[in-house]
Amino acid sequence: MQEAAAARWQGTVGLLVLPAVVFLLVFYAFPLVRLLLVSVEAPRWSLTHYADFFTEPAYLRILTRTFRVSLTVTFCCLLLGYPTAYVLLRVSGRRRRFLLLLVIVPYLTSFLVRTYAWMVLLGPKGIINSLLLKAGLIDTPLKLLYSAVGVHVGMVHVLLPLMILPLYSVMVGIDRTLPRAAQTLGAGPLRTFLRVFLPLSLPGVRSGCVLVFLVALGFYITPAMLGGLRDSMIAMLIESQITQLVNWGFAATAAVVLLAVTLGGFSLAGRVSGMTLLVASEVAGQTVPAVTWDGIAGSRQREGRPWMPRLLHLAPVAALGRRLDAVMSAWRRRRWARLQGREMRGAGRGRAALDLYAGAVFFFLILPTFVVVPISLSAGDFLAFPPPGWSLKWYASYFSQPPWLHATLLSFQVAVVTMLASTVLGTLAAYGVLRGRLRRRTLVVSLMISPIIVPPIVIGVAIYGLLAQWNLIGRFLGLVIGHAIGSIAYVMVIVSATLAGFDRSLERAAMSLGAGPLLTFRRVTFPLIRAGVLSGAVFAFIHSFDEVIITMFISGVHVQTLPLKMWEDIRNQIDPTIAAVSSMLILLPVAWLVVLEVVQGLQRATTRAAPADSA
């Protein structure tokens, strides 16, 4: 009877995924299917647009350039991110928390803010060219802005946290006794890293590279702002086909190609490496076999050669082997004593160089903040660094212009409603997936987390037709629907990770004492996952507040959110008012992180106080 009741309860809990699944099927999966039908001109069923796309040299160059830029950016992120994650692993305490903030805060800062800062840095009269001219290294300004260099620098800066965080999460799960054991057996720092640490960290390398590469494929904002006409990528091609040529059929074809490449690449990477989006939680729970010099893991030995054991048991051969072993052991001891001091000195120099390298990466991540904030306080009428004087007139300009205030208020309202709806749907779905019984669990999870991978421009093009048919273009509800598609995915992933580390024996204990499922969730489960739910809500709010690409398609002509107004002003005119807005947006993730820290502190205090009260 108890097993039957438990099975019925799991089936009921599994139904909690239905609201989120229905929402995504209607406003996400169905529009993508409609997009596919538009690309083949249903019901005439023509492949003309696909033939044009794959036979026109200009379009093939754009597709090739998109792959080339994405691969280059992925390699640069790995080159910068791996040593940085390794340094994060070596430090501890407050220093680690501070360095993690230097990674997380830029990641949560608006795309537009970071790209705008690089426009100031890379311009002909920007900071980099000014410093090089003053140093006498160049005679004329370098063409850094509106070039391939600007595109790569901006994309690497935006995507670098997506490489560092997966690498760090995997490195934290590596057993630290393994490198120490290798060094105890005589391996130097470099050999220990190459033979022990690097193979164990490869899951993080795979996940970071796949995530960065697939996200880079759909980039639009950074290439459009920092690149020139010769740096167009496939997302820019889609946008130009709609806004300039009004060619929805070809735009749908390009969007379907981008969608197929993105989802196909992620699916292939998952099948080859067994990787999913929740890499950290999976890797932490697995035991990774040690890899030896000959590539044999664990205790497996080479098969075959049955004559070898019989030969080694012959007395002369055995005696010669023992003699050679003694000679080699004595030589290794002398060599270890001779090289120990040299390796220690080399290790110290290597660590100092690694710390300097990671310090340069952290400075690269935080550099836009050091540029935007002083410019927002400039007393000049144009962008200049260092500022000719200090003034708050650009902040006054922001607060005195109704268009800026109306756009900010609308963004805040949409973000709040999106956060509330996404948090409810995402939390219910996460609880249903992890606690319920689902027949198609993999399919449900793939549907819910795929908006994180699918390029926003594909989603924007897809849902435009549906929202236009329902007269929701330029409406508040339409904006909430468009923003909630991705926000639900973030809440789902974060709350699922929190539930995965939750001790289920506490729930079973509460139920054994007579508490029902709802009371158990309210009194036991939710208080312990409150921090994860709040973290998901924060990500949902920031995702909605920062959304600009989907908003471009569904906002209509007269509706402007704050990111959309910033985007249009940056493309038309660049004045320091945008720097003032950017400085305030930089404070947004910092404020949310402070709120999360306070809530987690209160939760830890409550958890510690509970045993004392019961005693």
Coil, strand or helix: which one is 143?
Answer: coil
Is 382 inside a domain boundary?
Answer: yes
Rg (CA), the chain: 28
Cβ atoms of 494 and 566 closer than 8 Å: no
Q: pLDDT tens digits, residue range 541-569?
A: 999 999 999 999 999 888 899 999 999 88
Query: Domain residues for 496?
Result: 16-29+53-287+345-391+411-608
User: What's the token pair of residue 232?
Assistant: 């167009």
Q: What is the pLDDT of residue 540?
A: 93
Report how far residue 383's alpha carbon sits from residue 397's, in angstroms, rounded to the nearest whole number. 15
Report the alpha-carbon angle 239-245-248, nearest 5.
Answer: 65
The mean pLDDT of the chain is: 81
Is 535 inside a domain boundary?
Answer: yes
CATH code for the domain of 265: 1.10.3720.10
Is 397 inside a domain boundary?
Answer: no
Q: What is the pLDDT of residue 290?
A: 36
Overall domain count for the chain: 1
Is 297 inside a domain boundary?
Answer: no
Is the pTM of the predicted complex or chain greater than 0.85?
no
Buried-exposed string 434-471: b where 16+ CB fall within 10 A, e elsewhere: bbbebeeeeebbbbbbbbbbbbbbbbbbbbbbbbeeee
Cβ atoms of 106 and 162 closer than 8 Å: no
Is 2 inside a domain boundary?
Answer: no
Q: pLDDT tens digits, residue range 277-316?
A: 443 333 333 333 333 323 333 343 344 444 444 444 455 5
- What are phi and psi for residue 291, nearest 5 degrees? -105, 125
Which residues neighbour 513 within 8 Å (Cβ) at sequence distance 6 or greater? none
Q: Residue 271, Cβ neighbours under 10 Å: how many?
A: 9
Q: What is the pLDDT of residue 191?
A: 79
Is 322 inside a domain boundary?
Answer: no
Low-confidence ranges of the chain (pLDDT < 50): 1, 275-313, 341-346, 611, 614
Is 336 inside a domain boundary?
Answer: no
Is 406 inside a domain boundary?
Answer: no
